[in-house]
Amino acid sequence: MAEQQDWNSLSDTEFRKIFRSWVDENCPMRLRNMRKQRPVFDELADWYHALADKGWLSPVWPQEYGGMGLNAAKHIIYVEEWARLGCPRIPDHGIGLVGPLLIEFGTEAQKAHYLPRILSGEDVWCQGYSEPGAGSDLASLRTAAVRDGDSFIVNGQKIWTTLAHCANWILLLTRTSRDEKVKQKGITVLLVDLTSPGVTVRPIENLRQEADFCEVFFENVRVPAENLVGEVDKGWNLAKAVLGHERIFLGAPSRPEVALSRLEQLAEARGAFADPAFVARYARLRLDLYDLGSAFERFAKQLRDDGTLGADVSVLKIFCSELYQKITEETLDIAGEEARFLDDLPTGNGEVDAMNLYLDSRALAIFGGSNEIQRTILAKAVLGLPS
């Protein structure tokens, strides 16, 4: 089925060109630059299957498992072009999280069973990490898994589970023993079928009144022991390991880039570029975005050269999320009285989803570890500040 080629042996320019031209040709226009940050599987199914058929659905999986086997440098190009072409984010927990986890830590049987079903779209995965009492402090999670013969019995609750209502499997962090001293110990990774008896999924609407995350409740849910990944009580490092170099993409300039282009569009339409006060504020945002690009490249280069990243990469995510907010705030400011509208603003040259972006921009500073947590981590890891 899939075209096999050693992509890493191409020059960056060649790869970029090949990748871009096929994606541009094949990604349906109706999916480009979507208002939704996270469309659900059904909206994207044909594009998903087209990618899978091409063998381009999984940028980093080795080719033997149906991926492209890209190294970090090529992966960055993949993500950059994806963003530049306005392609939608596809439900990516199976591809970005479960796949790499199983490839590194799964049994042969698990790999043989689950990986093809991710590529075929038969299984759509979500990620069961956060709990009501364990957000930034993930290690204090309490959803319990108790061994019972050849099964685990799971009881507890997850929250902020993205798109769980559109998924049929969940990668679940559970607690299998309690050691208050080292909370990270005693955590176990299970693969859980969401159609199992005892599972309840409740969508939660976000500020944009879209349900893109859920609560997931587990009441005496029986999970076969073969769904264990790695060893019992040793799931923490395993769950952390697969994050890998993907952290750099949390700080990629794509979101503020989109927001700035909307700001420019509205500013052109409303004549704001004739106002030096606006231009001065715009200039600051424009340069912030430009410099974010330079900083992103600084870490991308490190990744290319060393194949790895330090804790310091999260500076990108902090800067990026705060810039995204500043841009959407400025957009509302120049909208004047029109900032009162929920719906998109007409410009005579397409609409500007000012409020949609403003509300969306609240999320990035919170999710994936709040900016406060990130700063505290940087303080210790990079500056070596004492506790």
Partner 1 sequence: MPEIILEDPDGTFAMLRDSVAAFAQRFDGAKSLRARRGAGRDLDRDIWSAMAEAGWLGLMLPEDLGGAGLGLSEQAILSEALGRALITEPLAQLSVFSGTLLAGAEPGAERSRLAEGLISGSLVVSPVWQTTDGGFAVVTATADVAGVTLSGTADLVVAAASADVFLVLARSKDERVLISVPAGSDGLSVSERPTVDGATLAQVRFDGCPVAAEQVLARGLLGNDLLDDAIQATRLTLAAELAGAGSKALEATVDYTKERVQFGKPIASFQAIQHRLVDMWSVAEFSCAAIVNALERLADEPGKPAALAVLAAKARAGDAAVDITRKAIHLHGAMGFTDECDIGLYMKRAVNLNATLGNPAQLRLQFVALERAA
Burial of 137 (0-12, 13-18, 19+ CB in 10 A): exposed
241 binds, among partner 1, a copy of itself, none (CB under 5 to 8 A by kind): none
- For a copy of itself, the closer of residues 182 and 280 by Cβ is 280
3-state secondary structure of 207: coil
Per CB under 8 A, 375 contacts partner 1: yes
Q: What number of residues does the chain have?
A: 387
The CA distance from 216 to 133, in Å, is: 14
The CA distance from 219 to 227, in Å, is: 18
- For partner 1, the closer of residues 85 and 279 by Cβ is 279
275 binds, among partner 1, a copy of itself, none (CB under 5 to 8 A by kind): a copy of itself
Per CB under 8 A, 38 contacts partner 1: no
Q: How many CB atoms neighbour CB 11 within 10 A?
A: 8
Active-site residues, by number, are 246
Which whole-number Å values give the CA distances from 18 to 4, 14, 91, 175, 300, in the listed order? 14, 6, 24, 46, 21
Tell the smallest beta-carbon distance from residue 179 to partner 1 (Å). 15
The number of residues that bind partner 1 (CB under 8 A) is 68
Q: List interacting residues with a copy of itself (CB under 8 A).
A: 275-277, 279-280
Among 204, 233, 244, 246, binds partner 1 (CB under 8 A): 204
Segment near partner 1 (CB under 8 A); pick from 11-19, 107-115, 241-249, 274-282 = 274-282
237 binds, among a copy of itself, partner 1, none (CB under 5 to 8 A by kind): none
- For a copy of itself, the closer of residues 276 and 384 by Cβ is 276
Residue type, 176: T
The CA distance from 21 to 374, in Å, is: 37
- For partner 1, the closer of residues 125 and 282 by Cβ is 282
Per CB under 8 A, 294 contacts partner 1: yes
Question: Token digits for 191?
Answer: 């693969």
3-state secondary structure of 298: helix
- For partner 1, the closer of residues 27 and 345 by Cβ is 345
3-state secondary structure of 152: strand
CB 121 within 8 A of CB 49: yes
Per CB under 8 A, 200 contacts partner 1: no
Q: Which helix (H) or strand (E) holds 15?
A: helix 12-26
Per CB under 8 A, 269 contacts partner 1: no
Which whole-number Å values give the CA distances from 91 to 47, 198, 200, 228, 301, in the listed order? 12, 24, 20, 23, 28
Q: Which helix (H) or strand (E) holds 345?
A: strand 345-346
Tell the smallest beta-carbon distance from residue 314 to a copy of itself (Å). 24
Q: Nearest-CA neighbor of 251 among 364, 152, 343?
A: 364
- For partner 1, the closer of residues 108 and 337 by Cβ is 337
CB 226 within 8 A of CB 109: yes
Per CB under 8 A, 206 contacts partner 1: yes
Per CB under 8 A, 318 contacts partner 1: yes
Which residues contact partner 1 (rule: CB under 8 A)? 130, 133, 135-137, 140, 159-160, 204-207, 209, 213, 270, 273, 277, 279-280, 282-284, 286-287, 290-291, 293-295, 297-298, 301-302, 312, 315, 318-319, 325, 332-333, 335-343, 355, 358, 362-363, 365-367, 370, 372, 375-376, 378-379, 382-387
